Amino acid sequence: MKEVNPNAAPMVRIRGLRKSFGSHVVLDGIDFDVQPSQVVVVIGPSGSGKSTFLRCCNGLEKPEGGSVEICGRPLMQDGRMLPDHDLNALREEVGMVFQSFNLFPHLSVLDNVTLGPRKLRSLSRAEAEVEARALLEKVGLAHKASAMPASLSGGQKQRVAIARALAMKPRVMLFDEPTSALDPELVGEVLQVMKLLASEGMTMMVVTHEMDFAREVGDVVVVMDGGGIIEAGAPDVIFTNPSQERTRSFLQAVLTRT
Ligand SMILES: Nc1ncnc2c1ncn2[C@@H]1O[C@H](COP(=O)(O)OP(=O)(O)OP(=O)(O)O)[C@@H](O)[C@H]1O
């Protein structure tokens, strides 16, 4: 477990977060802090609001109430989002990786990674390419710089998506089921890159069904159900001695399935 400085300001501070779709309350007043360098793994049954929670943390979903702060700066307050210009600036601090990769299909791997820094960080093509090649090296794909996304495996696409998110130099990385769309034999290569980022001190929030990853890499495991966080704690506690019966039966169901 990483040392967490109790006096450090949280990297992500969430208070009273509420989100509904129509009459369906998905997040019912969530309070949570993510400390710098922490890896928070979010687990819970299907439909428990894990993705919605993550998406609220970078403004992809607009909540009805509550606040989210990134590095002390409000992304939303009392359910009101920042104006677009400020929201976009703050979003650059929060990288997001989706289940479905979301690469630009008409751009090469290198151009996928350089686009954001050129447009939003105002880097020259040459500067952006130097950084992008280093990131592709980090995710083990330096040799695929000129390839088109369609020629890559799912695991390779996801590693490009991670490199692309990192190219914006985020302070926090959000992963929404990054391995769920992958064939089982490709899951490991993506988890490996995520483990590397964790070991380098990246602050991460990860929604995943990969319980081994939650156990090995998570500093905190958050269990969601019924519109809220039902418990949160160190993986060894959550996995061996959860305080909630709902956590126990969820884990039992998941662990017997895998
Ligand atoms: N855009 C939307 N419009 C209407 N309902 C939505 C929308 N997005 C999510 N929901 C509903 O909100 C609830 C929570 O969805 P969410 O995707 O956050 O759950 P989850 O825990 O991530 O589920 P899963 O593990 O299956 O991905 C679900 O009942 C879902 O159907």
135 CA → ligand 1 middle, Å: 32
How many residues appear in the chain?
Answer: 258
pLDDT digits (tens, 9 = 90+) for 71-95: 888 888 877 788 877 788 888 899 9
| Ligand 1 centroid – CA 180 distance (Å) | 15
pLDDT of residue 250: 94
Report the pLDDT value the prediction gives residue 1, as an integer from 0 to 100. 56
Pocket lining for ligand 1, CB < 6 angstroms = 21, 26, 44, 46-52
**Spacing of C-alpha 202 from chain mean position:** 11
Residue 90: both structure tokens together: 């703050």
Name the nearest CA neighbour of 171 among 34, 30, 16, 17. 34
Element (H or E) spanning 170, and its range? none
pLDDT 10s digits, 34-70: 999 999 999 999 999 999 999 999 889 989 999 999 9
- How do residues 219-245 score in pLDDT, each as one tens digit? 999 999 988 999 999 999 999 999 999
Query: Which residue's CA is minimally distant from atom 2 of ligand 1?
Result: 21
Residue type, 6: P
pLDDT at 75: 84
